[in-house]
Protein backbone atom coordinates (compact mmCIF):
# COMPACT_ATOMS: atom_id res chain seq x y z
CA UNK A 1 0.00 0.00 0.00
CA UNK A 2 1.23 3.49 -0.85
CA UNK A 3 1.28 5.49 2.35
CA UNK A 4 3.32 7.26 4.98
CA UNK A 5 3.86 6.30 8.59
CA UNK A 6 4.19 9.26 10.95
CA UNK A 7 5.94 9.12 14.30
CA UNK A 8 7.51 11.35 16.93
CA UNK A 9 4.46 13.00 18.44
CA UNK A 10 3.76 13.23 22.12
CA UNK A 11 2.90 15.47 25.04
CA UNK A 12 5.11 18.52 25.46
CA UNK A 13 4.94 21.71 27.51
CA UNK A 14 4.61 25.11 25.83
CA UNK A 15 7.99 26.22 24.57
CA UNK A 16 9.18 22.66 24.12
CA UNK A 17 10.27 20.83 20.99
CA UNK A 18 9.35 17.72 19.04
CA UNK A 19 10.77 16.14 15.91
CA UNK A 20 8.24 14.40 13.71
CA UNK A 21 9.21 11.78 11.16
CA UNK A 22 7.38 10.23 8.25
CA UNK A 23 8.60 7.26 6.28
CA UNK A 24 7.25 6.35 2.86
CA UNK A 25 6.27 2.80 2.02
CA UNK A 26 5.44 1.47 -1.41
CA UNK A 27 6.89 4.41 -3.34
CA UNK A 28 9.98 6.59 -3.61
CA UNK A 29 9.61 9.81 -1.69
CA UNK A 30 12.20 11.64 -3.78
CA UNK A 31 9.77 12.17 -6.69
CA UNK A 32 7.20 14.10 -4.66
CA UNK A 33 6.88 17.33 -2.80
CA UNK A 34 5.89 16.31 0.73
CA UNK A 35 3.58 18.28 2.97
CA UNK A 36 2.79 18.22 6.66
CA UNK A 37 -0.82 18.83 7.71
CA UNK A 38 -2.50 18.93 11.08
CA UNK A 39 -6.05 18.59 12.34
CA UNK A 40 -7.25 19.88 15.67
CA UNK A 41 -10.42 18.45 17.25
CA UNK A 42 -13.49 19.75 15.44
CA UNK A 43 -11.44 21.43 12.71
CA UNK A 44 -10.50 20.66 9.14
CA UNK A 45 -7.05 19.76 7.88
CA UNK A 46 -4.60 22.66 7.99
CA UNK A 47 -1.50 22.73 5.83
CA UNK A 48 1.60 23.44 7.89
CA UNK A 49 4.67 23.05 5.70
CA UNK A 50 5.84 21.57 2.42
CA UNK A 51 9.19 20.71 0.85
CA UNK A 52 9.79 20.55 -2.88
CA UNK A 53 10.82 17.38 -4.68
CA UNK A 54 13.26 19.14 -7.01
CA UNK A 55 15.29 21.80 -5.24
CA UNK A 56 14.31 21.30 -1.58
CA UNK A 57 12.66 24.68 -1.42
CA UNK A 58 10.28 24.98 1.51
CA UNK A 59 7.04 26.65 2.49
CA UNK A 60 5.59 27.40 5.93
CA UNK A 61 2.32 28.91 7.01
CA UNK A 62 2.78 32.17 8.87
CA UNK A 63 1.86 30.77 12.27
CA UNK A 64 4.79 28.31 12.31
CA UNK A 65 7.40 30.19 10.30
CA UNK A 66 10.57 30.61 12.32
CA UNK A 67 9.58 27.83 14.72
CA UNK A 68 9.24 24.77 12.46
CA UNK A 69 11.76 23.34 10.00
CA UNK A 70 10.92 20.77 7.34
CA UNK A 71 13.64 18.59 5.84
CA UNK A 72 14.00 15.40 3.85
CA UNK A 73 16.45 12.54 3.52
CA UNK A 74 15.73 10.76 0.26
CA UNK A 75 18.26 8.02 1.01
CA UNK A 76 16.16 7.08 4.04
CA UNK A 77 12.86 7.73 2.21
CA UNK A 78 11.88 10.04 5.05
CA UNK A 79 10.73 13.59 5.73
CA UNK A 80 11.04 15.37 9.07
CA UNK A 81 9.40 18.26 10.83
CA UNK A 82 11.40 19.85 13.63
CA UNK A 83 9.02 21.83 15.84
CA UNK A 84 10.45 24.31 18.33
CA UNK A 85 8.84 26.85 20.66
CA UNK A 86 5.62 24.86 20.59
CA UNK A 87 2.36 26.55 21.51
CA UNK A 88 -0.97 25.08 22.65
CA UNK A 89 -2.43 26.10 19.29
CA UNK A 90 -0.07 23.61 17.65
CA UNK A 91 -1.99 20.75 19.24
CA UNK A 92 -3.47 18.28 16.78
CA UNK A 93 -2.91 15.13 14.79
CA UNK A 94 -0.08 15.65 12.31
CA UNK A 95 -0.01 13.95 8.93
CA UNK A 96 2.42 13.83 6.03
CA UNK A 97 1.30 13.35 2.46
CA UNK A 98 2.61 13.54 -1.10
CA UNK A 99 1.69 16.34 -3.49
CA UNK A 100 0.11 14.67 -6.51
CA UNK A 101 -2.27 17.39 -7.75
CA UNK A 102 0.23 19.92 -9.07
CA UNK A 103 3.57 21.36 -8.06
CA UNK A 104 2.66 24.50 -6.10
CA UNK A 105 3.99 23.87 -2.61
CA UNK A 106 2.45 27.08 -1.25
CA UNK A 107 -1.21 26.19 -1.76
CA UNK A 108 -1.42 23.46 0.91
CA UNK A 109 -4.78 22.21 -0.27
CA UNK A 110 -5.31 18.75 1.21
CA UNK A 111 -7.26 17.72 -1.87
CA UNK A 112 -4.02 17.89 -3.87
CA UNK A 113 -2.22 15.39 -1.63
CA UNK A 114 -2.29 11.62 -1.47
CA UNK A 115 -0.85 8.63 0.42
CA UNK A 116 -1.80 9.95 3.85
CA UNK A 117 -0.56 8.19 6.93
CA UNK A 118 -2.41 7.49 10.16
CA UNK A 119 -1.01 10.59 11.82
CA UNK A 120 0.82 11.22 15.07
CA UNK A 121 -0.71 13.09 18.00
CA UNK A 122 0.97 16.29 19.18
CA UNK A 123 -0.32 17.78 22.43
CA UNK A 124 1.11 21.03 23.77
CA UNK A 125 -0.10 21.66 27.29
CA UNK A 126 1.19 22.60 30.71
Encode pLDDT of 23-58 as tens digits.
999 888 899 999 999 999 899 999 999 999 988 899
What phi-psi label fits residue 119: left (phi over 0), alpha (psi between -120 and 50 degrees) or beta?
Answer: left
Examine the pLDDT at 1 and tell me if it is beyond 80.
Answer: no
Closest Cα partner for 22 from 12, 32, 8, 39? Answer: 8
pLDDT at 24: 93
pLDDT at 73: 94
Give yes or no for a contact between 11 and 72, defined as CB atoms under 8 angstroms apart. Answer: no
| Average pLDDT estimate for 59-65 | 98
Encode pLDDT of 78-123 as tens digits.
999 999 999 999 999 999 999 999 999 999 999 999 999 999 999 9
Number of other residues whose CB lies within 10 A of the CB of residue 25: 13
Pairwise CA distance, residues 72 & 70, whole Å: 7
pLDDT at 35: 97
Amino acid sequence: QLEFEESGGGLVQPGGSLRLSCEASGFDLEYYAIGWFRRAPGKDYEGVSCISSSDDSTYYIASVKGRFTISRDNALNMVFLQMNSLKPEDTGVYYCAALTGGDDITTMDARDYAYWGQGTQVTVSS
